Amino acid sequence: MAENTDRNQLDPTHAGVVQYPHGDDLNRTLHILKGLDSGFSAQINRLQELQTRLEKGRFHLAVLGQFKRGKSTFLNALLGEPLLPTAVLPLTAIPTFIVAGLPKRATVFFLEENKPCDEWTSENPQEISAFLSRFVTETQNSQNRLGVEKVEVQHSADLLKNGVVLIDTPGIGSTLQHNTEATLNFLPQCDAAVFLVSADPPLTEVEIRFLSEVKSKIPTLLFVLNKIDYLSEGDRQGMMEFLKSVLREQAGLEPTLFAVSARNGLAARAENDPERWRQSGMSSFQEYLIQFLAQGKAKALDSAISVKVSNIVNDALMQIQLIRRSLEMPLSELQRKIELFGGKLQEAAQERISISDILTGDKNRLMDSLETQLEGLQQNGESYLTSIVTQHRIVAGRKWNEQDAQNALADAVPAFFEREIGEYTRDIESRIEEVLKRRQRRLIEITESIRQTAARMFDIPYNALETEDFIPEVRQPVWMKYKWNSSLLPISPTWFDFLLPVLYRKRRIQKRTRRQIEYLASYNTGRIRGAMRDNIETAFRSFAREVEKRFDEIITATQQALKTALSKKNQQSESIQSEILKLKDATDQLSRMSHRLAPTDR
C-alpha cells in the first residue's frame, strides 16, 4: 500500500482525471428512452455515438525540438521509463505517436501500400527501445531507406490514460526543408505543442524562424527549458528571462515557460523518488498539462456534447408528446391529421432532392475554382524551379552540367510542393466549411418546419432545437508524407552534343532542362490536384450522408410515433391508459432534463 501511495505522490495525475459533467445527462437520457417501447432508435443511436465521442476524446500534444535538446529524454521522463531511443546522431524524420494502452507495444507503419506493419511487444523498455532504434535512428535507417511512414507506441503511463497523446515530430532544423514543411502542415491537427530549448545554445536562428511560422498554426504553444541541472539557480533565472525576452521580441510570442531537468525527472521515476521528481520541474509541467490543457479540451467537448444531448432530449420529448397526444384523441381525428401531415412530409422529400442538387453544384464550382488555382501553381512551380537551376548554373559557371540540375531539383521540388500543399489544404478546408455551413442552415430550417407543423397539428409544445456546431470526428492527427517526384526524365546527351562548342552545348542542355522542369511542375501539381479533389469529394459526400440521415431520422421518427399510436387505437388496446401514464412519466423526466440543459444553465 505504501508503494502505491508513493506512486500517486510521484505522478499526481489521479486528481486530474478528465471529467465530462454532461456525460451523466447523456446516460440518464439513454436509460429513459431504452425504457420506452420501440420508436426511439434514432435518438438512442445518436446518444450512443456521443458516448463513443466522449470515450475517444484525446488531447494531442506535439513535442518539438532541435537535435541535442533532450527531447527523447523528456518524453521518457513523462512515460516513466527509457522507452524511446536516445541517439548520438539525429533521429530519422519519422513521427512517433505515443498512446494509452496495454501491453507495451511498438508498431511500425510503412509508406509502401499493402506492406504489413512490423511490431514488438514487451514489458521490457530496453527491448522496445532497441526495436525502435532499427527504424527511427539515422545509424540504422539512414535517410529512411526502410520507407517508414510513422511509429505508434502503446504505453500505460497515467498521463496517457488521462487522454493525452504524445507525438514526437521530426523536422526542426532538418537538413531537408520538406521535413520542416511536413511538420508545419501537421501541427494544425494538434491541440498544443511543447517546444524544447536548452542553454547550449539557448535559441538558434533556425528555431526563431520556425517559431515565427508555427505560432499561427496551433492554438497553444508551451516552452520547456531543459537541462537546468547544468545551471546554477542564478543562471537558470537569467536564462528564463533571456528566453522570454527573445521569444517576445523576435518571434512575437508571450511564452508559457517551464524549467525542467528531464534527465533528473527520468531518474526520479526510475527510483520512485517524489521529491526529486518535484525538484526536476517535470511534476509542474505534467500537472499543468493535465489540469489546464486536457481539462480545457474536455470542457469544450463537453459543452458541444451538451448542445447535442439537449437537442436529442427535446426531439425525443416532442416525439413522446406526439404519441401521447395521438393516443388521447379520437381515432377518426388521428387518421385525418396523419393524412394531412403526410402532405408536409412529401414537401420535405422534395426539399431533400433540392438540397442534393445544390450540393452537387457547390462541389462542381469548387472543383472548377481549384483547377484555375492549380494552373497558377504549375506556372509558379516552373518559375521557381527555373530560378533554382539558374542560380546553380551561375555559381557552377563553366563546370555546370545536367547532374547539377538533378541535384538542385532533388532539394527544391519537395520543399516547394510540401509548402504549397499545406497552403492549398488550409484554403480548401476553409472554403468547404463556408459552403457547407450555408447548406447546414437551410437543412435546419427544413427539419424545424416539419417539427413546427407536427406541433401545430397535434397541439403539442414546440421547442426549437439549438444550432449545433460541427464537432470533427475525434481521431489521431494524420502525418501526411508525399512522394514528390524530383527525378528528371531519362534523356541523355547525344553524341552530337560533344561535337558542339561549349556555348551551344550548354544551350541544348538548358533547353532539355526546361522541358524537364515543365514535366516536374506538371507531375507534382497533379499530385496536389488529386489530394485536393479527394478532400472536396470526401467532405461533400460526408455532408450529403448527414443530410440524408437528418431527414430520415425526423421523418422516420415522426411516422413511427404516429404509426404506433394508430396501431394501438385500431386494436382498442386496454393498455392505452397505462401507456399514456408511462409516457407522462417520461415527459416529466425529460422536461426536467431539458430545463437543466437549456443554454442559460450552461
In a domain, 5, yes or no: no
pLDDT, residue 601, reads: 45
339 and 277 belong to one structural domain: no
Is this prediction's pTM over 0.75?
no
184 and 81 belong to one structural domain: yes
Percent of the chain past pLDDT 90, that is, above it, reads 25
Q: Tens digits of per-residue pLDDT, 410-428?
A: 778 877 887 787 778 778 8
In a domain, 587, yes or no: no
Query: Are 328 and 458 in contact, with CB atoms under 8 Å apart?
Result: no
pLDDT, residue 487, reads: 52
Query: Are 260 and 233 in contact, with CB atoms under 8 Å apart?
Result: no
pLDDT, residue 90, reads: 57
Q: Judge residue 267's burial from the number of C-beta atoms within 10 Å of its C-beta, 0-12 exposed, 13-18 middle, 19 or more buried.
A: middle
Task: Supply 253's cell numbers.
Answer: 510570442
Distance CA 375, CA 273 (A): 62
Distance CA 187, CA 99 (A): 17
443 and 561 belong to one structural domain: yes
245 and 394 belong to one structural domain: no
User: Distances from the Cα of 247 to the Cαs of 197, 217, 226, 289, in angstroms?
Assistant: 12, 16, 16, 21
155 and 288 belong to one structural domain: yes
pLDDT, residue 379, reads: 92
The total number of structural domains in the chain stands at: 2
185 and 82 belong to one structural domain: yes
Q: In what order do the strands lie in the sheet with 192-197?
A: 118-121, 105-110, 148-155, 96-100, 164-168, 59-65, 192-197, 221-225, 256-259
Q: Tens digits of per-residue pLDDT, 339-364?
A: 888 888 888 888 888 888 999 999 99
Helix H segments across 329-478?
Answer: 331-396, 402-458
Question: What amino acid is encoded at 4 in this protein?
Answer: N
Taking each helix axis as running N to C, give the angle between helix 502-570 and helix 295-328, from 0 to 180 degrees, rounded to the nearest 10: 40
Distance CA 165, CA 294 (A): 10
Q: Kindly list the averaged pLDDT for each block of 10 residues, start to end, along the chain of length 602.
A: 35 47 84 84 86 75 82 92 76 80 93 89 94 86 82 91 82 54 68 86 81 78 92 90 90 89 94 94 90 72 80 90 90 90 86 88 94 91 90 78 76 80 81 88 86 90 72 44 48 52 68 84 87 87 84 81 82 77 92 81 46
Beta bridge partners of 168: 63, 96
Distance CA 20, CA 250 (A): 40
Q: What CATH number does the domain containing 172 carry? A: 3.40.50.300
288 and 342 belong to one structural domain: no
Domain of residue 446: give its range: 330-469+480-570
Return the closest-CA partner of residue 211 out of 199, 227, 193: 193
Distance CA 286, CA 78 (A): 8
